[in-house]
Amino acid sequence: MSDTANTVNISQPQGRAPLAQVSTFSAFKATLKRDLLIALKRRNDLLNPLMFFLIVVSLFPLGVSSDPQELTRIAAGAVWVSALLASMLSLDNLFRADYEDGSLEQLLLSPQPLYFMVLAKNISHWLISGLPVVLLSPLLAYMLYLPADAYWTLVLTLLLGTPVLSLFGAIGVALTVGLGSRGLILAVIVLPLTVPVLIIGAKAVVDASLGVPLGMHYALLGALLALSLSLAPLASAAALKISVN
Amino acid sequence: MWQWFFRLGSPKWFYEMSGKWLPWLLVLMTVLMSVGILWALLFVPQDYQQGDTIRIMYVHVPVASISLACFPLMAVAGVITLVWKMKLADMVAKCAAPIGAWFTAVALATGAIWGQPIWGTWWAWDARLTSMLIQFFLLIGVIALRSAIESPDAAAKACALLAIVGAINVPIIKYSVEWWNTLHQPSSDFSMDENSAFGPEIWVPLVIMIFAVYIFFVISLILSTRNEILQRERRSQWVVDIVAKEQV
Amino acid sequence: MFEQIQFNSVAEFLQMGKYTFHVWSVYGLFSIFIFVNLFLPRVQRRQFIREQRNRALRDAQLAKNTAVEQERESASEESS
Amino acid sequence: MASSHVFHSSTKAFSAILGYTSASFLAPHSPRYRVYVDIFRTSMAASNSVSSHSSQAPVAPVLLQARALFCERDERVLFDNLEFSLHAGELLQVQGSNGSGKTTLLRILCGLNSSYEGELFWEGVAIDEDRETFLASLLYLGHRVGVNKILTARENLRWSAALHAPKTDQDIDAALEAVGLMGYADISCRNMSAGQQQRVSLARLLLSPARLWVLDEPFTTLDVRGVKILENLLAAHVAKGGAVLVTTHHHLDVPCPLRRLNLDK
């Protein structure tokens, strides 16, 4: 055994060891790929938010009225509220499994900037749960008799708005991921934060059918997206650190 | 300066000092509040449009203005909690949330009562009321998060973060609600700035009431913070001494 | 500013023009609010102090009880 | 913070003389606001189980150092004024009864738990100041294995390697083989036993360039062969000049310098 001890003392590099050269980008890609792979392997999780979205939207004609004129009036709001709820429902998958199996600790202890790691998870979450909703929305808009002028606006505003929902939602999930019984607390925390997106998005669709120019609406949504892209992952990262504590 | 700052962070020091301030604050509040309320009820002239409902303004506006100040206060306390790990800041933030929620609820209720004769309904999706309602939801979220997390340390940090995120969001929410509201329907002429004839006989009592309610807010914040300090420091000797001494 | 009190009689003051309910309910709500916010902390404080005292008493009692029980147990073991 | 550097270099000189750092009398304790009586629950049981080690003249540099650590959980002091240092080429076993704070200590060292007081240094620099360097040198395996059950063993390792240093699939397969999971690379981890999942997690040790391994109860689910494999991995890492911090109730039988830190009274 003593020769092992000898090698210990001889092979000491002096000074601080050089940093392992890992590009953040490749870690970012790996995280993105991993999350997408997990989602693809769990088809149900992929489908559930979409089905939820479909069902909630189809509840509106049943609950409100099947009268086309009335549905036309509420179409924009109904689709937007349903998209909001669907993205809220799917948020649970964002950090939960990673927290439970310990992968989250590995992520937090990686020498990568956490901002990009959280961003990668956010992007994959949006690709899985947000994008399908955006793609399905024209069909539902048709079922609710949304005026034809507003279709593109609906798709575009959802395209700009649903990432914001994911990003804000991630903060709430990160704050509550360690809680045993989260229940509705996630919704209570996150839903008020999403009010601006809902207001602007739904209003843009209404205004599009009225022929109002929409530059302002897109600018506001874009500003929200830029703001949340730059700040929300930082807040989520900080929240994750608090939650694993 | 820094020494003072960190001494303020000591719960014991705060407890002792606030005990000295409280009587003075209570006297000041009682005087200002009595003057303000009597002035508002007896001497303020009737509004040519609103009649005697103008007197509601002297309650609603001070309460509402403080409920707006609550989120920034919690956010500042949150930054101090996260950066300097000062326990007192978290205690203040913890106590400010329910008090702020109460102020917001009262502001909403008085706003609704004031609005009824004007709108003909108890609730209108007026920009101010709506953004106040959403701020109420945000505060409820912070309180819910606080009670959901068991570890006080994690709860402190999580709520600090949520308060900061919320405080960044409040102006965005306010702006977007106003934008949504003004384009939907013409703004109700219910806001103060549109009362062009706004003489000192109107605003002097209002300023007095705002000061009075601010002091009231500070007093109730200090009172519940003192309780929180006792609760958290219950094992330290000075609290044990207080418990032993106090007549119940 | 204080030219005059705006009301000619107490009854008129209590009536507040057309808005008896509106004005007085707001001021009533406000006074309840102030009252609750100033006195609830007092109540909580007393509760806390009572709790702490009871806890101290309980701890003392508990220590005594366990001592008694242990004695009893050892006694019953001997008798059986 | 420059003072901490200066101070630390003097500690280093000390540690070179004493063999391990016991600079508690030097450390300027930050005044803590705590009135109740401090109970010194922890003491360092620094016993060199390998006798040859203590007689070696040149002492390996200190990698990790903890100074005046205090931690309290649920109104109970877990440890107070805990001091220890971990040298290159050393294995430190943290011992203690259940609930004595072993896991908490490891999580504090890694930075997963921040509710503590005291100072931590990595290679002489406060970890708070240069977290990135520390994290690049750290591999932590916790209670929860960090293996996603839906992914296969290879997919799991590909991701965790990419966080530190990307590896080819050949490397990953070789690592899996080394931990006795040959042929399991494409099996979904859901279909593995707890011990096998633990082994997947252990394969990280082979793939990571980290110098410091922090392992929380790594032996729990392993069978006899698994235990042997892990012990050999630890010894090899230490022999290369790495450092290991491990909690276990298992009696470590490793051919390398071993020190014990006892968190019990």
Rounded Cα gap, residues B35 and B211, in angstroms:
11
CA atoms within 13 A on the CB side of D197: 22
Rounded Cα gap, residues D16 and D19, in angstroms:
6
Compute chain A's Rg from CA coordinates.
22
B3 falls within a domain: no
Predicted pLDDT of residue A194: 93
Q: Which of D115, D116, D117, D128 to mutate to probe the B interface, most B CBs <10 Å? A: D115
A164 falls within a domain: yes
Q: What is the pLDDT of residues A31-44, one digit of tens each?
A: 999 999 998 888 87
Chains that touch B (3 or more CB pairs under 8 A): A, C, D
- Which tops the pLDDT comparison, A222 or D62? A222
Q: What residues of A are in contact with residue D145 (Cβ under 8 Å)?
A: 101-102
- Asked if B117's CB is within 8 angstroms of C19's CB, the reply is yes
- Asked if D163's CB is within 8 angstroms of A112's CB, the reply is yes
- What is the distance in angstroms between the Cα of D36 and the nearest Cα belonging to chain B? 6
Structural domain total, chain A = 1
% of chain C at pLDDT higher than 90 = 22
Rounded Cα gap, residues B18 and B10, in angstroms:
12
Rounded Cα gap, residues D71 and D130, in angstroms:
22
- Asked if B223's CB is within 8 angstroms of C41's CB, the reply is yes
Q: Where are the beta strands (DSSP E) in D101-141?
A: 117-122, 125-126, 138-141
Asked if residues A206 and A130 have their Cβ atoms less than 8 Å apart, the reply is no
Least confident of A103-112, A183-192, B174-183, D166-175: B174-183
Q: What residues of A are in contact with residue D143 (Cβ under 8 Å)?
A: 102
B5 falls within a domain: no
- Coil/strand/helix, residue D62: strand
pLDDT averages per 10-residue partition of chain D, 265 residues:
39 35 33 28 32 48 87 82 87 86 89 87 88 89 89 91 86 89 87 90 89 90 88 89 88 80 78
Q: What is the pLDDT of residues A73-92, one digit of tens each?
A: 888 899 999 999 998 888 88
A238 falls within a domain: yes
DSSP B41: I
B2 falls within a domain: no
Q: Which domain holds residue B134?
A: 12-245
Q: Does B164 touch chain A (CB under 8 A)?
A: yes
- Asked if B153's CB is within 8 angstroms of A196's CB, the reply is no
Out of A185, A193, A196, the one facing B144 most closely (by C-beta) is: A185
Q: Which of D149, D164, D215, D244 to mutate to probe the A interface, most A CBs <10 Å? A: D164
Chains that touch C (3 or more CB pairs under 8 A): B
A141 falls within a domain: yes
DSSP D59: P
Judge D/B contact: 3 or more CB pairs < 8 A.
Answer: yes
Q: Does B46 touch chain C (CB under 8 A)?
A: yes
Q: Which domain holds residue A234?
A: 25-32+42-244
Q: What residues of A are in contact with residue D150 (Cβ under 8 Å)?
A: 38, 41-42
B4 falls within a domain: no
% of chain B at pLDDT higher than 70 = 89
CB neighbours of residue A155 within 10 Å: 16
Q: Does A35 touch chain D (CB under 8 A)?
A: no
% of chain A at pLDDT higher than 70 = 90
Q: Specify the CATH number of the domain D2-136.
A: 3.40.50
Structural domain total, chain B = 1
In the 3-class helix/strand/coil scheme, how is D76-89 assigned residue by residue?
A: EEEEEEEEEEEECC
- What is the distance in angstroms between the Cα of A52 and the nearest Cα belonging to chain B? 25
- Asked if D257's CB is within 8 angstroms of A105's CB, the reply is no
